[in-house]
Amino acid sequence: MEIEISEPEVLHDLCDYLRRHGFVAVASSRERAEVLIPDAGSDLAALLLLRARIRAWRGMNPGIKVRVDEYA
């Protein structure tokens, strides 16, 4: 999956947060990152886990938009 963030200066913070929670997150450009969820079990589970983690992160970083592209 790929994510895109509205504030590129905090992309690395988001990637670090996701890595601390067991995800593999690597920036692929200034505002995008590739994300893998190794233990998800299915694509749907991976998507739901990623969205839940992003919601939690956005709670600590209000106003920042993150778009998930599940087909990337």
- Mean pLDDT across 45-59: 97
State pTM to two decimals.
0.92
* Higher-scoring residue by pLDDT: 70, 34: 34
pLDDT of residue 72: 53
At 1-23, the pLDDT tens digits run: 999 999 999 999 999 999 999 99
How far apart (Å, rounded) are the C-alpha atoms in residues 22 and 39?
A: 8
Closest CA to 24 of 11, 9, 39: 39
How far apart (Å, rounded) are the C-alpha atoms in residues 16 and 10?
A: 10
Handedness of CA 29, 2, 11, 23 (dihedral sign): negative
pLDDT band at 71 (very low <50, low <70, confident <90, very high): confident
Distances (CA, A) of 26 to 16, 41, 62, 63: 9, 21, 22, 22
